[in-house]
Chains A and B, each alone.
Chain A
Amino acid sequence: MEKLIELKNINKVFKSHKLISVKKDDYVAVDNVSLDIKKNTVFGLVGESGCGKTTLARSVMFLDPPTSGEILFDGKDIAYLSGKELKLYRSRMQIVFQDPNSALNPKMSIYRCMKEGLVNRRYPKDKIDTRIEELLDLVGISSSYVNRYPHEFSGGQKQRIVIARALSMEPEFLVLDEPVSNLDVSIQAQIINLLLDLKDKFSLTYLFISHDLNLVSYLSDEVAVMYKGQVVEIAETEEIMKDPLHPYTLKLFSSAPGKNSVELFEADESYREGLPDGYTYFPPESDSFLELIDTGEGHRIGCYALNG
């Protein structure tokens, strides 16, 4: 299958802003991440909070350009684009954030907030109104609501509006950064179904970021597991669910709720079996990066104990 996004050795380092710094304390948020996202698939990215999922997503979107590395969008390195060209590429990739409350301007009506992007894209003026109606209809928001303000909508509706706004750019690639983790269970399912429908309708490609393993395993075609800024395991969803290899993946999977309480007591420590005492996934001097090793059929892991 054709690749839409290729990331090659992406690094993102946050420099310390102290004027006189005694020791170098740069923070490596994303450490040498390489991955490919195929067209019209869902790529799941899982990991605990603070592991660099969102930073990676922002780097891919070029909102926070990476410190080093290459981002190929449809075969073209977006780092070398001029401002104008980049703007065109920007409309081809959109992002949906976790919290729709902070993604929508509370002072702008839904109509204005949808219109802004279309005007910027030089969408024909006389067609803007019908286009907005069309988009809202797509996500299941009645077009009679266009003059309302964000606070008049529920969380699920707001998230639908954010999705509609992202779609107004006619993107090919959507980054979904925990789009449902703020929503109730029954609303979650509505949004997930909507996202899957839209994916089929417009042949979209998703980068789906979540800490909910059950959700990612339901939705994604491929999964990457991140830990402390590095991708430690990548594989197709079925493969990684059946046969997780990296000890961190095992730990994450065994922690996911939904087993029964009898197992609960043991699950906590099971991932440590067969590993040396005090094992921490990475050598203490953790600036050494581990190459991912292919174990067959695209299942790749980077692990100190297993590779070394």
Chain B
Amino acid sequence: MPEKRADSTLEIRDLNVSFIQGEKEANALRGISLSLKRSEVHSLVGESGSGKTVTSTCVMGLLPTPPARINTGEIILGDQDLLLLGEKDRREIRGKDIAMVFQEPARYLNPTLKVGDQITEMLILHLGMEKSKAVDRALEILELVGLKGGKRVLDSYPHELSGGMKQRIMIAIAISCNPSFLIADEPTTALDVTLQLQILNLMLSLKNTLDMGILFISHDLRVVHDISDWISVIYAGRIVESASRETLFADPKHPYTKLLFESIPDADKRGKRLQTIPGKVPDAENIPGGCAFHPRCPIAEEICRTSQPETKDLAINNRAESHTAACHFIGKQWKN
């Protein structure tokens, strides 16, 4: 095992990203702050178009600029700001210190290369291993991600593997250099429930054995509930609420979070109408002024239309844990 580095936090501060297309400017991220700790699963939940994937690709340094433009923000790993680094230094970090698992493994594996070569490529490039040593290490990694069959799997092409196996290969590639942080962008959305559970279990056990921090991106609140230590809810490019899993599920404060929870169908709600959120997620080109959620919010008042709410920390003094929400009327009740 390679030696561990000291960077135990990944901090995203006030990240603001827009996409420029001709005259139009789409403000995809409007001040995202997240703080990840080693050996914690931090989930980013939101609907499509809310900026989840932009956040993850920006952290990985994979955002094409242009059309994207990073207006403000810092991404701090250990003690260096990744956004200030040049492309060459970013390449050193990408895959080695921060690795990524994508939603559709079939699209991100190279169909013309054996999966063994795709795993050893990382080891040779980042850790300077010799080919034969890299193969031995790749076999160890396969075992770690629960793929039996060793050499035979290394010698197969992606199309010869099932969806679940491909996702395991993606994870194997991601963890090959023993990264401090793993970004998982909807890693189980394309999988069946039974496979999903296996992959979630695998990620949790790898997190413990390798002592990684995971940024888990998902739209599925139930999956997030199962896997997370900490949850941040994103809406229209802003974090609207952030708290530990227990706190967030027991006591959501932002109306968007509350409504999201209530709109999930399950057996207990049989015969009752589901709570809905009227309207849809605004697209990044015309985000409503003030609080972006106000057109869909049941408790919106005049102030919500004009001024953007500050993110407030609701933690009571004697509790160490923070619970932040961005709303003018935190905790206000409403009738359906």
B226 touches A264 (CB 8 A): yes
B225 touches A252 (CB 8 A): no
A190 to B280, CA, bound (A): 10
A289 to B53, CA, bound (A): 46
* A104 CB, nearest partner CB in chain B, Å: 18
What residues on A are CB-neighbors of B221 within 8 Å?
Answer: 185
Measured CB to CB, the nearest residue on chain B to A197 is B273
A184 touches B276 (CB 8 A): no
A260 to B197, CA, bound (A): 12
A268 touches B219 (CB 8 A): no
With A186-B259, A261-B204, A264-B201 as given contacts, are A215 and B222 in contact (CB-CB < 8 Å)? no
| B299 located at the interface, meaning its Cβ lies under 8 Å from any Cβ of chain A in the complex | no
Q: Within the complex, which residue of A48, A214, A217, A260 is in contact with B194, where a contact is CB–CB below 8 Å?
A: A48
B193 touches A213 (CB 8 A): yes
Question: In chain A, residues 206-259, which have Cβ atoms closer than 8 Å to a Cβ of chain B?
Answer: 211, 213-215, 217-219, 237, 241, 251-252, 254-259
| B263 located at the interface, meaning its Cβ lies under 8 Å from any Cβ of chain A in the complex | yes
With A184-B281, A189-B276, A268-B198 as given contacts, are A48 and B192 in contact (CB-CB < 8 Å)? yes
B193 touches A185 (CB 8 A): no
B193 touches A252 (CB 8 A): yes
Binds A, one of B9-17, B96-104, B114-122, B264-272: B264-272
**B181-224 near A? 1/0 per residue, CB < 8 Å:** 00000000000111011101100110000000000000111110
A215 touches B265 (CB 8 A): yes
B266 touches A217 (CB 8 A): yes
Measured CB to CB, the nearest residue on chain B to A191 is B276
Contact size range, B: 35 or more
A189 touches B275 (CB 8 A): yes
* B98 CB, nearest partner CB in chain A, Å: 23
| A302 located at the interface, meaning its Cβ lies under 8 Å from any Cβ of chain B in the complex | no
A268 touches B226 (CB 8 A): no
**A16-54 near B? 1/0 per residue, CB < 8 Å:** 000000000000000000000000000000001100000
Q: Within the complex, which residue of B197, B265, B273 is in contact with A214, where a contact is CB–CB below 8 Å?
A: B265
A251 to B196, CA, bound (A): 12
A211 to B188, CA, bound (A): 14
A186 touches B263 (CB 8 A): yes
A186 touches B273 (CB 8 A): no
* A160 CB, nearest partner CB in chain B, Å: 12
A255 touches B266 (CB 8 A): no
What residues on A are CB-neighbors of B265 within 8 Å?
Answer: 188-189, 192, 214-215, 218-219
* B146 CB, nearest partner CB in chain A, Å: 11
A189 touches B192 (CB 8 A): no
A184 touches B193 (CB 8 A): no
Measured CB to CB, the nearest residue on chain A to B193 is A255
B226 touches A260 (CB 8 A): yes
Q: Residue among B193, B197, B259 with the most chain A CB within 10 A?
A: B193
A214 touches B47 (CB 8 A): no
A265 to B207, CA, bound (A): 13
Residues of A at under 8 Å CB distance from B? Answer: 48-49, 154, 156, 184-190, 192-193, 196, 211, 213-215, 217-219, 237, 241, 251-252, 254-261, 264-265, 267-268
Cβ-closest 5 pairs across A and B:
A258-B222, A218-B265, A189-B263, A257-B222, A186-B277
Given A48-B193, A186-B280, A213-B193, 4 extra CB contacts under 8 A: A184-B48, A185-B260, A258-B225, A258-B266
Q: List 12 A-B contacts (CB under 8 A).
A: A48-B192, A48-B193, A184-B47, A187-B47, A189-B275, A215-B265, A254-B197, A255-B196, A257-B196, A257-B220, A257-B225, A260-B225
